[in-house]
Chain A
Amino acid sequence: DGGITQSPKYLFRKEGQNVTLSCEQNLNHDAMYWYRQDPGQGLRLIYYSQIVNDFQKGDIAEGYSVSREKKESFPLTVTSAQKNPTAFYLCASKRQGGSYEQYFGPGTRLTVT
């Protein structure tokens, strides 16, 4: 399970609270991604970053924010503006150039009540 890690595995929050999910990689990958997975559905892209200090919105960025201050780290904040935040969140990383493969972390299951 080395290479890309996410913590914690399970996270519980009350409605109205912001929460930050951690994603760290030691693969020296330039690009990092956040996806949301809902039961029985595919993965949907929230944000991605191809280089430090730069990131772009994906298909469902509303209610989320990210930062990319270090190459190794790409934290995701789920804000109180996200209407339905309970989901499984997956982080991924990719080396730019050469291989196109995205490597996924183990995921964080967020439950908001």
Chain B
Amino acid sequence: GENVEQHPSTLSVQEGDSAVIKCTYSDSASNYFPWYKQELGKRPQLIIDIRSNVGEKKDQRIAVTLNKTAKHFSLHITETQPEDSAVYFCAASVEAGNMLTFGGGTRLMVKP
């Protein structure tokens, strides 16, 4: 089955700096890659996703890039703010968003 690895497990940045979180996946048939943000004690919420027919997607300060050949995808957050502090999870899916396999998560801390 699919295996998703996520790095780093913790990331500390200064407010205003950029943050990059990387994930690799094993199943070349995976075609959907969402990123979820989970604040302490709350539910995960989708912040951005990408399908395998595109290489990059942006939404304001957040972007995701996908390299299908290398089987890795990354989350980029620019101009980080304290409210970006949370745990971020990447995931991969072979069938239209069903059967998501999640990475282990990255705890992002943005220092004011």
A interface with B by C-beta (< 8 Å): 31, 33, 35, 40-45, 48, 50, 58-59, 90, 94, 99-102, 104-107
Do residues A100 and B93 form an inter-chain contact, with CB atoms below 8 A? yes
Do residues A43 and B93 form an inter-chain contact, with CB atoms below 8 A? no
Chain A residue nearest to B2 in the complex (CB):
A59
Chain A residue nearest to B107 in the complex (CB):
A40
A44 cross-chain contacts in B, Cβ below 8 A = 102
Tally of contact residues, B, Cβ under 8 A: 26
Q: A42-B89, A104-B45, A106-B42 are in contact. Are A48 and B104 (CB under 8 A)?
A: no
Q: A41-B104, A43-B102, A94-B97 are in contact. Are A100 and B49 (CB under 8 A)?
A: yes
Within 8 A of A (CB), among B60-90: 89
Q: A104-B43, A107-B43 are in contact. Are A42 and B97 (CB under 8 A)?
A: no
B99 cross-chain contacts in A, Cβ below 8 A = 45, 48, 58
Give per-residue flags for B46-58: 1 if the beta carbon is below 8 A from chain A beta carbons, else 0. Answer: 1001010000000
B112 within 8 A of A: no
Chain A residue nearest to B4 in the complex (CB):
A42
Q: A41-B104, A42-B102, A42-B104 are in contact. Are A101 and B44 (CB under 8 A)?
A: no
Bound Cα distance from A45 to B98, whole angstroms: 10
Bound Cα distance from A100 to B44, whole angstroms: 15
Closest 5 CB pairs of A and B: A100-B97, A42-B102, A104-B43, A43-B102, A42-B104
Bound Cα distance from A75 to B111, whole angstroms: 40
Bound Cα distance from A109 to B27, whole angstroms: 32
Do residues A42 and B43 form an inter-chain contact, with CB atoms below 8 A? no
A43 cross-chain contacts in B, Cβ below 8 A = 44, 89, 100, 102
Do residues B98 and A42 form an inter-chain contact, with CB atoms below 8 A? no
Chain B residue nearest to A91 in the complex (CB):
B43
B32 cross-chain contacts in A, Cβ below 8 A = 100
Shortest C-beta distance, B65 to chain A (Å), equals 18
5 contacts between A and B (CB under 8 A): A42-B6, A45-B99, A94-B98, A104-B44, A106-B42
B89 cross-chain contacts in A, Cβ below 8 A = 42-43
Chain A residue nearest to B97 in the complex (CB):
A100
